[in-house]
């Protein structure tokens, strides 16, 4: 049962070739664990004729039962009782429904070396204390979302002196305070310590626009960074091109492009994907990605566009070994990036289907997880 | 945003507008009612501006592909001759005084209608107001949350086009959580017209004061009924409808019922229908995203059936699926080109549909011509309100009822007058 720890404690975070055997062993153990402990997973594996023993070569990973994120929203799937879990988090539920995912202690133990190794590889770790401005949710006991946890976690890459939040919990809901953040950033530009801005890209964009409107400009101290996580969520339609965002960050905050770090991950797949200096998400050794045909779900060769299927043996508490996102994307050979990392990188093209689907068929709004707005 | 008496105002004016609304309504009701031709003529003028391309900028700003398709389907219904036809059919001649043994009877506007609209079709809130105007009512419109702004823009155009109409409608973008403002509007209404799902309808029903007429346009379920062995052409039309509507409309086919008790015959039907559905999907799914959505929903459905230990059989195709179910219940399909097939011999039809009788809408009927009359009558007895051919389940028909009712008739009140001898 130590296959997972052997994989996550490996030395080179992007050595996919050198860790194939470790990865397969960890995935075999992980699938066997879920088949033993999660009745729903067992039923699906049975219906698909899957057994862990079939995983002999990297191309066999496509045989692992794939669960769509929608399935986690409809079913709370667990392979162990709640009392044995270290943590229990939910997705942010942008569209009304959310996934419930359990974290076991072994998962936390495996995440630590992953985060430290990748943090060091991408220059996130610094002994110099920093002020933190979080363009996201202030943690609250009523908020169990994974992204809140991630953003809070990101503030620990250097000793945090202070934390300023853009979203405060007031009377049962979150209210934004962008003006407060803008004032804080202006104040922090005269501090001897650097500032680390952690947040949703959409909030950074709105915040920067607001600062520009107000004529505010901050020149944050050297070593200041922007760390972006969580996607554009409900602001999808207002998504801007990355270079536009970077230029504005440079202009308004004085933070150069190479100090802007981006992350990718999902509650169902909490792998710490870091963008390289060319802003590409290379696959680290803790995960594998399969792109699947939009009509047949069969695996596609490198470069073809399809549904993004994320695979990792990280979690024992919830069967998330192979997760199908509702994103379309494609893979590119790592060598084409030129940053030096050789593992393939993932490009996400966007959500599947129309985000503004409306329906008047009885019950369809609930099925689509939209609630019944009126 | 608020639209009041033809002017667009900020939401901050809400309290003032609500404060004055009662007096405005009383003043307007004291005047002779709005004549239908004022509304019909104004719509005609807007339509010709649309035809001349003068409204292209507005359409470009608000319209989604879904809206453009709906506009294409519905614009004919707004033509003057068609609005007049609708008025005649739906009011049954009640607008002009008819003689009665005691004197005469004539319909007058109900008074003030509060429209609570749902966002299932962009521009629909404006259409609901036009129906209220045709019958001479004063209209208070609450826009759905997340409205694109199209309805307000259209109604502003209408007010500019015909200033005589401007006092007859108000548009509010009040959130559903603002119960106090909604209640203030409900208190002024003679009728509440609610579009939407069960939740919206229950919420508004509790706000309707006693004596206020409550009219609901709820969500519905539709299906196809197939007797005998249909021609390929009919099945192609049905497949085209299933893929294009994606199961999302009230009139979309969720289940294909077969007039047989034999699961083997039903399985053979599924095998025959799947490639036809696949061809329709390959034509309709123009982006990888659309195909992916269909495939994901079909796969998800397969997983749901697996964990539920169902004996249903899923036939997965390219960008679509057909599921042969062992039961007879009318239920929502997995949507997006994934359809359910069930056995339902005609003798059991009324019983099987009984639990959903208040929610039924369209039945797409595929059967030999000589049986059409009999089966249509049977479907009507079961509770459906439209029987169409396979490919026309979601087509609007001129003069058709709305879920079995004539809306304009509901927005009127008949006044009997005794003659003085």
Among all residues of chain B, which has the CA nearest to that of A324?
B296
Q: What is the pLDDT of residues A166-223, one digit of tens each?
A: 888 877 777 778 788 888 888 888 899 999 998 888 888 888 888 888 888 888 888 8
Lowest mean pLDDT, pick from B158-172, B190-204, B211-225? B190-204
Map chain B to HEC letters.
Answer: CEEECCEEECHHHHHHHHHHHHHHHHHHHCCCCCCHHHHHHHHHHHHHHHHCCCCHHHHHHHCCHHHHHHHHHHHHHHCHHHHHHHHHHHHCCCCCCEEECCEEEEEEECCEEEEECCCCCCCHHHHHHHHHHHCCCEEEEECCCCCCCHHHHHHHHHHHHCCCCHHHEEEECCCCCCHHHHHHHHHHCCEEEEEECHHHHHHHHCCCCCCCEEEEEECEEEEEEECCCCCHHHHHHHHHHHHHHCCCCCCCEEEEEECCCCHHHHHHHHHHHHHHHHHHHHHHCCCHHHHHHHHHHHHHHHHHHHHCCCCCEEEEECCEEEEECCCCCCCCCCECCEEEEEECCHHHHHHHHHHHCCCEEEEEEECCHHHHHHHHHHHHHHCCCEEECHHHCCCCCCCCCECCECHHHHCEEEEEEECCC
Whether chain A has a CB inside 8 Å of the CB on B178: the answer is no
Res A360: pLDDT: 67
Please tell me the class of the B221-392 domain: alpha beta
Q: What is the C-alpha to C-alpha distance for residues A75 and B332, in angstroms, rounded to an integer?
A: 19
Lowest mean pLDDT, pick from A239-248, B108-117, B138-147? A239-248
Res A371: pLDDT: 42
Q: What is the C-alpha to C-alpha distance for residues B251 and B248, in angstroms, rounded to an integer?
A: 8
Q: Look up the CATH architecture of domain A3-86+283-351.
A: 3-Layer(aba) Sandwich (3.40)
Q: What is the C-alpha to C-alpha distance for residues A187 and A204, in angstroms, rounded to an integer?
A: 17
Res A324: pLDDT: 95
Q: Where in chain A is the domain with CATH 3.40.50.12780?
A: 3-86+283-351
Q: What is the C-alpha to C-alpha distance for residues B120 and B219, in angstroms, rounded to an integer?
A: 10
Q: What is the C-alpha to C-alpha distance for residues A236 and A310, in angstroms, rounded to an integer?
A: 22
Cβ contacts (< 8 Å) between B304 and chain A: which residues? 71, 74
Percent residues over pLDDT 90 in chain B: 75
Whether chain B has a CB inside 8 Å of the CB on A112: the answer is no
From B146, B176, B254, residue closest to A361, measured CB to CB: B254
Whether chain B has a CB inside 8 Å of the CB on A234: the answer is no
From A40, A354, A364, residue closest to B332, measured CB to CB: A364
A193: left (phi over 0), alpha (psi -120 to 50) or beta: beta
Percent residues over pLDDT 70 in chain B: 99
Q: What is the C-alpha to C-alpha distance for residues B157 and B220, in angstroms, rounded to an integer?
A: 32
Who wins on pLDDT, A135 or B192?
B192
- ipTM of the modeled complex: 0.86
pTM: 0.84
Q: What is the C-alpha to C-alpha distance for residues A243 and A271, in angstroms, rounded to an integer?
A: 25
Q: Is the pLDDT of residue B265 over 80?
A: yes
Distance from CA of A294 to the nearest CA of B (A): 4
A126-139 core/surface letters (b: 16 or more CB in 10 A; e: else): eeeebbbbbbbbbb
Per-residue pLDDT, averaged over B178-190, amounts to 95
A358/B66 Cβ within 8 A: yes
Whether chain B has a CB inside 8 Å of the CB on A136: the answer is no
Cβ contacts (< 8 Å) between A360 and chain B: which residues? 118, 120-121, 219-220, 248-250
Distance from CA of A78 to the nearest CA of B (A): 14
Res B59: pLDDT: 77
Q: Is the pLDDT of residue B94 over 90?
A: no
User: How many residue pairs bridge chain A and chain B with CB atoms within 8 Å of each other?
Assistant: 138
Three-state DSSP class for A219? Answer: coil
Who wins on pLDDT, A130 or B287?
A130
C-beta separation of A31 from A55 below 8 A:
yes
Q: What is the pLDDT of residues B35-79, one digit of tens each?
A: 999 999 999 999 898 888 888 887 777 777 667 777 777 778 888
CA dihedral B90, B94, B100, B103 (to 10 degrees): 160
Q: Per-residue confidence at B215, pLDDT binned at 50, 70, 90?
A: very high
Q: Look up the CATH architecture of domain B2-219+403-418.
A: 3-Layer(aba) Sandwich (3.40)
Q: What is the C-alpha to C-alpha distance for residues A171 and A174, in angstroms, rounded to an integer?
A: 8
- Name every residue whose Cβ is closer than 8 Å to that of residue B13 and which is 6 or more positions away in sequence: B2, B4
A291: left (phi over 0), alpha (psi -120 to 50) or beta: beta
Res A238: pLDDT: 55
Whether chain B has a CB inside 8 Å of the CB on A74: the answer is yes
Res A93: pLDDT: 56
Query: Which regions in chain A score pLDDT beneath 50?
Result: 354-356, 370-374
Domain map (residue ranges) of chain B: 2-219+403-418, 221-392
From B64, B200, B248, residue closest to A372, measured CB to CB: B200
Q: Look up the CATH architecture of domain A123-264.
A: 3-Layer(aba) Sandwich (3.40)
Q: What is the pLDDT of residues A55-104, one digit of tens each?
A: 999 999 999 999 998 899 888 899 998 888 888 777 765 555 678 888 89
Using CA atoms, how far residue A122 sits from A37, A89, A193, A260, in Å, is 37, 26, 20, 11
Across-strand partners of A104?
A85
**Dihedrals phi, psi of A95, to nearest 5 degrees:** -100, 20
- Helix then strand count (H, E) for chain A reads 10, 15
Res B68: pLDDT: 74
If contacts are CB pairs under 8 Å, which of residues 203-242 in chain B contact chain A? 203, 218-222
B64/A372 Cβ within 8 A: no
From B121, B221, B332, residue closest to A367, measured CB to CB: B332
Please state the length of chain B: 421
Res A359: pLDDT: 64
Cβ contacts (< 8 Å) between A78 and chain B: which residues? none
Three-state DSSP class for A229? Answer: coil
From A67, A324, A363, residue closest to B332, measured CB to CB: A363
C-beta separation of A358 from A314 below 8 A:
no
């Amino acid at each position: 049962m130590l296959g997972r720890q052997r994989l996550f404690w490996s030395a080179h975070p992007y050595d996919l070739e050198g860790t194939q055997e470790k990865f397969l062993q960890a995935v075999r153990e992980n699938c066997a664990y879920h088949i033993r402990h999660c009745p729903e997973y067992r039923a699906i594996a049975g219906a698909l004729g899957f057994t862990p023993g079939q995983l002999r070569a990297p191309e066999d990973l496509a045989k692992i039962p794939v669960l769509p994120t929608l399935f986690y929203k409809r079913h709370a799937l667990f392979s162990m009782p709640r009392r044995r879990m270290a943590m229990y988090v939910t997705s942010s539920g942008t569209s009304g429904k959310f996934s419930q995912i359990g974290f076991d202690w072994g998962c936390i133990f495996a995440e630590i070396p992953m985060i430290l190794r990748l943090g060091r590889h991408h220059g996130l770790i610094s002994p110099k204390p920093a002020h933190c401005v979080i363009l996201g949710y202030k943690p609250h006991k009523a908020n169990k979302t994974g992204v809140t946890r991630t953003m809070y976690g990101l503030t620990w890459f250097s000793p945090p002196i202070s934390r300023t939040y853009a979203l405060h919990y007031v009377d049962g809901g979150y209210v934004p305070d962008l003006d407060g953040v803008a004032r804080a950033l202006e104040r922090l530009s005269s501090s001897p310590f650097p500032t680390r801005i952690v947040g949703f890209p959409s909030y950074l964009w709105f915040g920067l626009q607001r600062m520009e409107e107000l004529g505010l400009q901050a020149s944050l101290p050297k070593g200041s960074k922007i760390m972006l996580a969580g996607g554009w969520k409900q602001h999808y339609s207002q998504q801007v091109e990355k270079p536009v965002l970077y230029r504005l960050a440079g202009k308004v905050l004085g933070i150069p492009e190479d100090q802007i770090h981006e992350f990718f991950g999902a509650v169902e797949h909490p792998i710490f994907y870091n963008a390289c200096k060319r802003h590409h998400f290379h696959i680290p050794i803790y995960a594998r990605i399969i792109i699947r045909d939009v009509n047949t779900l069969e695996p596609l060769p490198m470069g073809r566009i399809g549904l993004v299927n994320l695979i990792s043996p990280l979690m024992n508490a919830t069967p998330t070994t192979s997760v199908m996102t509702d994103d379309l994307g494609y893979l590119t050979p790592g060598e084409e990036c030129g940053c030096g990392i050789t593992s393939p990188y993932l490009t996400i093209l966007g959500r599947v289907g129309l985000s503004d689907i409306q329906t008047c068929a009885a019950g369809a709004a609930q099925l689509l997880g939209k609630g019944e707005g009126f | 945003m608020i639209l009041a008496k033809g002017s667009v105002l900020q939401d901050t004016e809400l309290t003032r507008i609500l404060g004055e609304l009662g007096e405005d309504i009383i003043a307007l009701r004291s005047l002779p009612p709005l004549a239908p031709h004022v509304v019909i003529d104004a719509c005609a003028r807007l339509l010709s501006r649309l035809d001349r391309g003068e409204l292209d900028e507005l359409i470009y700003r608000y319209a989604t592909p879904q809206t453009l398709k709906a506009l294409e389907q519905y614009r004919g219904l707004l033509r003057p001759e068609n609005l007049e036809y609708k008025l005649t059919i739906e009011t049954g001649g009640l607008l002009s005084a008819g003689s009665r043994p005691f004197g005469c009877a004539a319909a007058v506007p109900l008074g003030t209608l509060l429209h609570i609209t749902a966002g299932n079709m962009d521009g629909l809130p404006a259409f609901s107001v036009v129906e209220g105007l045709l019958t001479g009512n004063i209209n208070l419109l609450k826009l759905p949350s997340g409205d694109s702004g199209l309805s307000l823009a259209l109604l502003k155009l209408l007010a500019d086009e015909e200033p005589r109409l401007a006092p007859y409608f108000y548009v509010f973008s009040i959130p559903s959580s603002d119960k106090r403002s909604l209640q203030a509007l409900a208190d002024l209404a003679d009728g509440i017209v609610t579009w939407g799902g069960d939740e919206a309808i229950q919420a508004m029903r509790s706000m309707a004061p006693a004596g206020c007429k409550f009219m609901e346009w709820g969500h519905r379920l539709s299906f196809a009924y197939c007797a005998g062995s249909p021609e390929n052409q009919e099945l192609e039309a049905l497949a085209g409808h299933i893929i294009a509507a994606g199961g999302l409309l009230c009139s979309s086919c969720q289940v294909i019922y077969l007039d047989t008790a034999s699961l083997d015959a039903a399985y053979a039907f599924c095998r025959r229908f799947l490639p036809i559905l696949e061809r329709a999907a390959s034509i309709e799914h123009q982006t990888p995203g659309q195909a992916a959505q269909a495939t994901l929903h079909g796969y998800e459905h397969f997983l749901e059936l697996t964990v539920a230990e169902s004996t249903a059989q899923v036939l997965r195709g390219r960008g679509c699926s057909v599921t042969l179910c062992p039961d007879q219940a009318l239920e929502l399909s997995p949507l997006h080109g994934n359809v359910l097939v069930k056995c339902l011999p005609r003798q059991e039809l009324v019983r099987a549909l009984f639990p959903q009788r208040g929610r039924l809408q369209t039945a797409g009927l595929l059967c030999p011509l000589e049986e059409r009359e009999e089966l249509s009558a049977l479907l009507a007895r079961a509770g459906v309100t439209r029987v169409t051919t396979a490919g026309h389940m979601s087509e609007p028909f001129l003069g058709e009822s709305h879920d079995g009712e004539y809306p304009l008739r509901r927005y009127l009140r008949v006044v009997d007058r005794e003659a003085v001898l």
